[in-house]
A and B are shown apart, each in its own frame.
Chain A
Amino acid sequence: MDAAAARASSGVRGVFTGEDWKVLIGLYLGDKPPLARGRVLYHGEPVVAVVADDEASALRALRLVEVEYRPLPAIATPREALAPGAPILHPELGSYRRIPAILPEPGSNVANRTKIRKGDADRAMAAAEVRIRGEFSFPPGDHCAMEPRSAQAEILADGRVLVTSSTQSPFGVRNLLALGFGIPQGMIIVTAPAVGGGFGGKAGIQLEPLAYLLSRALGGRPVRLANTRENDMLGSPGRPGMEARVSLGAKRDGTLLAADIEFLFDSGGYADYAVNVSRAAGYACTGPYRIPNVKSDSLCVYTNHPFATAFRGFGHIEMAFCIERAMDILAAELGMDPVELRLKNAVLPGDTTPSGSRLDASTGDLPRCIRTVAARLGWESAPRGEARGDEVRAKGISCFWKAPAIPTFTDAGAIVSFNEDGSLNVLTGVVELGQGALSGLAQIAAGALGIDLAKIHVAGDVSTDRSPHDWTTAASRSLFMAGRALLAAIDDAKAQLRRIASQPLRCPEEDLEVSGGRVFVRDDPEISLALEELVLGYVYPGGNAIGGPVIGRGSYIARGLSDLDPETGSGRPGLEWTLGAEGVEVELEKSTGRFRVLRSACCMDVGRVVNPALARGQAVGAMAMGIGFATRESFAFGPGQNVVNGSLRDYKLMRFGEEPEYFVDFLETPQGDGPMGARGLGEQGILGMPGAIAQALSRAAGAPIRNLPITPETLWRSMRAGSGGPR
């Protein structure tokens, strides 16, 4: 690399490469240098950073850097990475800092292996009357959140480090910076303003350590790193790809007996969140089906692709596509309707998950979800579709489940305070990403306090020095956990209000109620005081005052979660399972393979709908993203594993004109420990779409689809090959 011209360019403060710092940073596995050192592991990996007085000077200098690359053999797939003799991408894997839940295999390209051993899968499989096997795959891709990532760092003279980042995890960023650079936690202040979409892509860490290092190298001056769209797609992490093998064993009547599953996640050059994605897919590996005997290995594998982090669905979308396709192969083998096969095996309260965790009374009503979707699509009337000349229509249905993949000690906090007019301020650690969490929290507060929504003010920015701790805004858990913490904080504030009011009202605290903006005597509501007379302390006529500002605090921590046993995978990793079903109707032009999704339906059991419009918005947005996932949103690679569609000119997303008709139904089997009975619903709508679309198009084309993305040409090819019936 020759950076001499860049260093001499006007306005430039410094030019830095991987050789400038020996540190490794990572989320669960410390495997990544801030800039590539000696070799790049993927197309798009940053190799040089130029800091200048303004963006134009930096860009001008950057274009003067000469880099010469010598191509090395590139690993294209997880299977290639596991083959004997494959290059080992991380020879130092054994020495990387890691959390105990992640199990890398040094000397190989395996960054994590999560094993599930439930019952005796080998024996049950051998004894099964019907056995099927399928192999499935799809390439990695990108989140394409509307806002590209950005991070700014500054070091004050007193040593405090100020970081502002488009992050879903301000506390995670603070902790990793503290750990990586030996800075006391309280000396780091990370601020997350409202973020322009995350979808998991901003849950890990990437730009922040580099911004800090650049600032440190320049005497603490503020340094901002802001991705271009292209850098965001290739340089920063995307979502993992997958190669999978699924075998199912069943009775002739369709009752599932055994599953033997191998998931190989394509994590690209570094692991980031993908190690935990593979772990989540492991403990959820069967999908929402009752299977007594399960053997599963879910691996996170290094390849020479852009590296992967969390993505909406977190292992469950990848898992669901493979399992749902396997269920379709089984249905065809049995000559059974796909809806019937799913109804027969759908999990119910009392069943156990692959990790042996029992599904309790809060388990959603999956059979009713399946029936609702089938009814929305008119499944009975034309289950196998209908042909009209060159065009054929067909339907597909699939199920899904998801539990948040979170540490066992995942927490949330809330602090409430009042203004003089009796309105409420709410502080949580939840980052607003467009998901509407702040609106949902405001509604919970308004409901709990019995005051108008207009009097609730939820703080927008999260700052680690003043917001209560919150694990990360991810895993569809914000409404659940921060909601619980907020309810506790409001209870705390109510108790304080009752205590203050009990003196002027001359009444025991326990006889007082707080609602409608007043504190009143339960059995004589005329005796009351308005909140504005109490929230900053009560002032008697004559001037004496008591109380002082009411400040409520509440916290929540995940209940009863346990680590997975490394050998059997047994444990309780999932706080709450959201269950559901989805279906689509497609139209295929057989001569060309062109197709459209005409109608789509989603029904999920969310416990309690807090805000119907936001809930539907989340579901529909996720369904659209699922269509994109199935039909276009993935990277394509050239022979050296260079990405050939690394810009939005070539990487296509769903457009408004392509939206199908959406039917969204919610069931409300209450979540016993959820706020007002609610459970997470933000990610789930994406999960079943790829499987449902693949089933419908397989049926329309008369050829089985095993790989994504499904495009007109892939369909045309499979129809020409014409193999094996509508699986």
Chain B
Amino acid sequence: MIPFDIVYRRPETVEEAVAAWRAQPGASIYYSGGTEILTGYRTGTYDAGAVIDVKRLPECSSRDTRRIAGHEALYFGAGLSLNEVVEDASFPLLAASARRIADHSVRNRITLGGNVAGRLPYREALLPFLAAGGTAHLAGPSLEGGAAGGVDRRELPVRELHAKRLLLRPGEFLLGLSVEAAAAGLPFYHDRATSGTEVDYPILALCAVARSGRYAVALSGYLDAPAWLESEGTPPLPKDFPEPRSDARASRPYRAELLRLSLSRVEDALK
């Protein structure tokens, strides 16, 4: 059980959500599917006294096509459940990657935004956007205006926004992710290995796309955080690419071998 009371807020608008956070900065956390936060409350790894449920905000629950920077783009609200993302299927690589996260019952709760912006280091739903080059849509308290200030929205390429954790500003949260429609339809390759049973965190998850002779590969479970690389021709592993992590699920050499095998299949798969 969760041994203390929590204030639960479900704002109707982004402005209300940001205002709620601003009212108690540091004491509130944004909440989406809740699978990690509720279990963390139970075991004591979370202790925030208030949650702000943003998954049903219009911007977070939308799945639409819009024009972004002159291109047609597919937009996925951060509050969509992983099963909704899988069933949508308009971004096949995202569907392939999301359907391997947790199990079907849990994917009814886990959201795209929770998987990408939560505390767990795997973020497999982010990999398709790292590989295909997606955009993150964010909202948070404006930097000017103090306590009465408004809301700042920004759009950033996920590759720039991502290093270990999403580089969010205080009080900022993920509204959604978008990808160019043309990139979403590219041929792709997805591979995933676990230490044993399939329903487990990956020791290697890999998403790859090819676009006009360039390969882009995104990885999870391999280093401490998702990573990506891009190259001309055959997917390489740069000489200076970091050594894989080693933990209870897999050793360093085993991860390295799985990546080597997986990369060796990318070119054939994308022909």
Contact = CB atoms under 8 A, between A and B. Distances in A.
Contact of A713 (B42, B197, B251, B261): B251
B250 A713 contact: yes
A228 B2 CA distance: 12
A644 B3 contact: no
B3 A594 contact: no
Number of chain A interface residues as a range: 20 to 34
Interface stretch (A54-62, A252-260, A376-384, A517-525): A54-62
A631 B197 CA distance: 9
B257 interface: yes
Contacts of A644: 248
Contact of B257 (A63, A655, A658, A716): A716
A716 B254 contact: yes
A613 B185 CA distance: 51
Nearest to B260: A591
Interface string B1-44: 11110000000000000000000000000000000000000111
A537 interface: no
B195 A713 contact: yes
B197 A60 contact: no
A230 B197 contact: no
Nearest to A652: B197
A632 B3 contact: no
A382 to B, nearest CB: 26
Contacts of A57: 3
A60 B258 CA distance: 44
Contact of A63 (B44, B193, B197, B199): B44
Interface string B57-96: 0000000000000000000000000000000000000000
B197 A655 contact: yes
B4 A650 contact: no
Nearest to A710: B196
B196 A60 contact: no
A636 B248 CA distance: 7
Interface string B197-238: 111100000000000000000000000000000000000000
Interface residues on B, range: 20 to 34
A594 B193 contact: yes
Interface string A272-304: 000000000000000000000000000000000
Contacts of B3: 55-60, 63
A385 interface: no
Contacts of A723: none
A711 interface: yes
Given A592-B193, A636-B248, A650-B248, A657 B1 contact: no
A59 B254 contact: no
Interface string A635-659: 0100000001101001010110110
Given A56-B4, A592-B258, A711 B195 contact: yes
A711 B186 CA distance: 35
B44 A658 contact: no
A134 interface: no
A60 B261 contact: no
A712 interface: yes
Nearest to B197: A652
Nearest to B203: A713
Given A56-B1, A645-B248, A652 B196 contact: yes
Contacts of B254: 713, 716-717
A99 to B, nearest CB: 38
Given A56-B4, A658-B197, A712-B195, A592 B261 contact: yes
A645 B258 CA distance: 23
A102 to B, nearest CB: 35
B4 to A, nearest CB: 6
Nearest to A717: B254
B261 A230 contact: no
Contacts of B43: 230, 647
A59 B1 contact: yes
A636 B2 CA distance: 28
A631 B2 CA distance: 34
Contacts of A632: 196-197
Given A63-B44, A645-B248, A713-B250, A652 B200 contact: yes
Contacts of B199: 652, 655
Nearest to A55: B1
Contacts of A63: 3, 44
A632 B257 CA distance: 22
A679 B260 CA distance: 54
Interface string A40-79: 0000000000000001111110010000000000000000
Given A55-B1, A60-B4, A636-B248, A591 B261 contact: yes
A56 B257 CA distance: 48
A56 B1 CA distance: 7
Contacts of A592: 193, 257-258, 261
Contacts of A654: 197
A591 to B, nearest CB: 6
Nearest to A59: B3
A3 B59 CA distance: 48
A657 B261 contact: no
Given A592-B193, A592-B261, 4 more contacts: A55-B1, A60-B4, A230-B43, A712-B195
29 contacts: A55-B1, A56-B2, A57-B3, A60-B3, A63-B44, A230-B43, A591-B261, A592-B261, A594-B193, A636-B248, A644-B248, A647-B43, A650-B248, A652-B196, A652-B197, A652-B199, A652-B200, A654-B197, A655-B103, A655-B197, A657-B198, A658-B197, A658-B198, A711-B196, A712-B193, A712-B195, A713-B251, A716-B254, A716-B257
